[in-house]
Chain A
């Protein structure tokens, strides 16, 4: 765990006497008054002894019975010392905005305002993040029902006479009108130039449902803003109502292109919280699947980016390889895309017969495909001209915006969770982490290509190891928090009772909190879980890599053209399911 050394944290007390330090098993947090928090964060950022330069996440937790009601949580990272710290404070209505310290906090604060209704003093444009401007509620407050306020009669148009199913309700939550969306749009951007172009939300080029607003002069973008929330499904709210195991399928549907990686990040966090140790074999299977999924995700990126830049055939070539990976994942996990393969304490199934043969075949075959892709693109003068010097990211940007994943590494910052905080079998495998020198879209292309090769390398090592571990257990069922396998339930009454208990009451995690992240293809996917000792999380905050990476988009695109926006968006590679959750 990467938490700051408690002794070092004690040192903060000399400058801030009112500081409260709480050192738990899985975290270290400091708590301070609201009016001092900005000062403390500035101190942490600028003092070379601490140098918590990088902004990781900000969120709120609602305690309706506590006074003041909302707890603010800042998570920071120090690249110099490889440490994390949590800073907490309490508030009822307002908080000082920290956008002066980290620009990356802009959206996080907007999200907090959107979800909890806490206002931020000094924020440049505090508007709704995910919901529309005229939406009257603050959904993540504990007193707001998960299914919303059903006040609109909105029946199915197809089936007026008969009721389609037992859980059908003709009353529905209010949907916005086009005027509402127009108000939302107006609040984001003021027309100063020739036209305001709505790029998205339902547009073939926006990788999902992101809504870009470009203030154009000719084809040059003078100003840009992004409206998110076109895929805001309320996963964080839903999670508060589910047991830890039940949340696993939802993590699939966040970053649906790299479902297994999200699974792993989440399950690791929960396992740390519960104190469960997965079996050796499960660790290796997880690592292998994560890397397969990483190749899968990078292939999708390559295909769609090439499609956006006009290389139509490339898209189909990458999808051909993706089909192979889908076949593997379908054979092992049972479903092609949202596999829900992981369980707390291991994986759902053992590897089926023949799976390692297929993966070996893939390892042998894939390098020649990568060579094809590189032949078509890497040295192509059009590709180079389109990608070079588009969206140059500097190291300072990385810390300011909390950029992670490829975005950080293209700027030369070695920020890879597999490297700084390895989980599963990552400490035992050999691989290289490619870093960029310039930080433009072309670097990010080269990095992703190189990462695919490295992932292949890791998979080869995993296959070798898994052949040795053939007869091991895939699930640590002896642990009281781990659900038994079906075979155990059939034959032992104890296992059945344990199964019933865990299903009904959930895994009763000890009181506490944890922040743990995994390296997603899109960046750091972190889970901040607050447990109140119940079977369900009290608050589950998802720190999405793409959410923070996308935040730099408006700044990088200023002064460039619409065509560059496509390139830049492709190289950031956001997935809306993850940014909006």
Chain B
């Protein structure tokens, strides 16, 4: 009985998370388009629904009912697999991200996370790395030159920044003394307890790494439109195409923003001014601010060349994150 109830709870939770994430991702596209519009002094989606509120639905319906075109000379298995490989790991990271402390509603204890395991962060990194395969498969299976180059570029960038990202996360982990994301949040007490004040170097490295991981400028080499049309997903159409930007630009950015908020901004901690849902609101507010910051950078800066990006990854970001570990270790040792 115990097992069944756990399974049911898990399934229900997962469904809520996945559906919620889909909807959120769809509306994140609208937020991005609105934001980009206003940065450029235009309104963005406006006439489809009230202020473009139905725009994501129209886009989704259209993309779903579009002819599913598979070019003749592609490797069919990999071609289908690639879009899943890119999308599923991005969603799976959600499994380890806590959105708040357990709360009690109608006597039930609801845990706003799927699992809380003590290697949460490592799992998140691992899932993040799997999505590289999606990109490489997409590039390879398309049997076309632009996707090929785009895929290889993206792989080079991801590998470089995965390392920097991992090492930069070590700083907060050392301070919290745990890999569990929940415990990391609990280690940050009060406004000045947030790790951003102690780990600014790690934060900068992680900012750059997230930009690179999610393919936003200045690191969006994989789909630099002027060079590679639309990069590794050039040959994809319909919903198979839709999954890529959804996974990468929206879910990826959202999830990684959540991790960054947990690591540096004390997660859902904040003054209890919104009542019972205060932790959620704080958490989503912080993640949203983070997301907006990425958008802001995306719509401002030009992009690096791919060799310059990898150069920065290996020559600047990696040493910086190692230096950060070193400094943190010394401080912890001195303080005891």
Chain A positions within 8 Å of B, measured between CB atoms, are 195, 197-198, 203-205, 219, 306-314, 316-317, 320, 376-377, 380, 382-383, 385-386, 561-566
B37 to chain A: closest residue by CB:
A316
Judge whether B308 and A307 touch: CB under 8 Å. Answer: no
Residues of A within 8 A of B229 (CB): 203-204
B residues within 8 A CB of A311?
A: 217, 300-303
Report if A306-B306 is in contact (Cβ < 8 Å); known contacts: A195-B145, A197-B145, A316-B41.
no
A219: contacting residue among B39, B149, B304, CB under 8 A? B149
Contact between B225 and A313 (Cβ–Cβ < 8 Å)?
Answer: no
Contact A383 B302 (CB under 8 A): yes
| Given A204-B226, A561-B306, A563-B305, residue A310 in contact with residue B300 (CB < 8 A) | no
Q: When the two chains form their complex, are residues A309 and B302 in contact, meaning their CB atoms are under 8 A apart?
A: yes
> CA separation between A44 and B307, bound complex, in Å?
46
| Contact residues in A for B227 (Cβ distance below 8 Å) | 205, 308, 562-563, 565-566
Separation of A491 and B307 alpha carbons in the complex (Å): 72
Assembled-state Cα–Cα distance A314/B301 (Å): 9
| Residue among B153, B221, B305 having the largest count of chain A Cβ atoms under 10 Å | B305
Distance between B311 CB and nearest chain A CB, rounded to angstroms: 10
The 8 A-B residue pairs whose C-beta atoms are closest, nearest first, are A310-B303, A205-B226, A308-B226, A316-B40, A311-B302, A563-B305, A310-B302, A309-B302
Whether, in the assembled complex, B245 has its beta carbon less than 8 Å from a beta carbon of chain A, the answer is no
**Complex CA distance for A195 and B301, rounded to whole angstroms:** 31
A563 touches B301 (CB 8 A): no
The answer to whether B220 touches A313 (Cβ under 8 A) is: no
A195 to B217 alpha-carbon distance, docked (Å): 28
What would be 27 A-B contacts, judged by CB atoms less than 8 Å apart?
A198-B145, A203-B229, A219-B153, A308-B227, A309-B302, A309-B303, A310-B301, A310-B303, A311-B301, A312-B299, A313-B36, A313-B40, A316-B42, A380-B301, A380-B302, A382-B218, A385-B308, A386-B302, A386-B303, A386-B305, A561-B305, A561-B307, A563-B224, A563-B305, A564-B305, A565-B227, A566-B227
Q: Which residues of B contact A219 (CB under 8 A)?
A: 149, 153, 306-307
B302 to A563, Cβ gap below 8 A? Answer: no
Chain A positions within 8 Å of B221 at CB level: 563
8 Å CB contacts to A: which residues of B204-251? 217-218, 220-221, 224-229
Residue of A with least CB distance to B299? A313
The residue in chain B whose Cβ has the minimal distance to the Cβ of A309 is B302
B188 to chain A, nearest CB (A): 33
CB-CB under 8 A from A564, the residues of chain B are 305
Chain A positions within 8 Å of B41 at CB level? 316, 320
CB nearest to B225 among chain A residues: A204
Is the pair B300, A386 in contact by a Cβ cutoff of 8 Å?
no
State whether B303 touches A382 (Cβ < 8 A): yes
Question: What residues of A have a CB within 8 angstroms of the CB of B307 in the complex?
Answer: 219, 561
Using A562-B149, A563-B227 as known contacts, say yes or no to A310 and B305 having CB atoms under 8 A apart: no
- Please indicate the chain B residues that have their CB under 8 angstroms from the CB of A377 in the complex: 302
Q: How far is the CA of A198 from the CA of B305 in the complex (A)?
A: 20
The CA-CA distance from A205 to B220 in the complex, in Å, is 15
Separation of A197 and B303 alpha carbons in the complex (Å): 22
B302-A306 in contact (CB<8A): yes
Q: How far is the CA of A385 from the CA of B309 in the complex (A)?
A: 11
Give bound CA distance, A195 to B149, whole Å.
11
User: Measured between alpha carbons, how far is A566 from B224 in the docked complex, in Å?
Assistant: 10
**What residues of A have a CB within 8 angstroms of the CB of B220 in the complex?**
310
CB-CB under 8 A from A203, the residues of chain B are: 229
* Chain B residues near A316 (CB-CB < 8 A): 40-42
Whether A310 and B218, one on each chain, are in contact in the complex, defined by CB atoms closer than 8 angstroms, is yes
Q: How far does the alpha carbon of A487 sit from the alpha carbon of B94 in the complex, in Å?
A: 76
Would you list which residues of chain B between 90 and 145 have a CB under 8 Å from chain A? Answer: 145
- Chain B residues 161-219 with CB under 8 Å of chain A are 217-218
- Asked if A382 contacts B226 (CB within 8 A), the reply is no
Return B7 CB to nearest CB of chain A, in Å: 46
Q: Is the CB of B226 within 8 A of A307?
A: yes
Closest to A319 in B: B40
A145 → chain B, closest Cβ, in Å? 39
Q: B226 contacts A385, CB within 8 Å?
A: no
User: In whole Å, how far is B99's beta carbon from the nearest beta carbon of chain A?
Assistant: 32
Q: Which of B39, B153, B226, B303 lies in contact with A313, CB distance below 8 A?
A: B39
A195: which B residues are within 8 A, CB to CB? Answer: 145
Q: Please, which residues of chain A bring their CB within 8 A of the CB of B40?
A: 313, 316-317
Chain A residues, CB < 8 A from B145 = 195, 197-198
Bound together, the chains give a CA A203 to CA B229 distance in angstroms of: 7
**How far does the alpha carbon of A197 sit from the alpha carbon of B40 in the complex, in Å?**
34
Interface-central residue, B145, B220, B226, B308, by most chain A CB under 10 Å: B226
CA distance A561 to B227 in the complex (A): 10
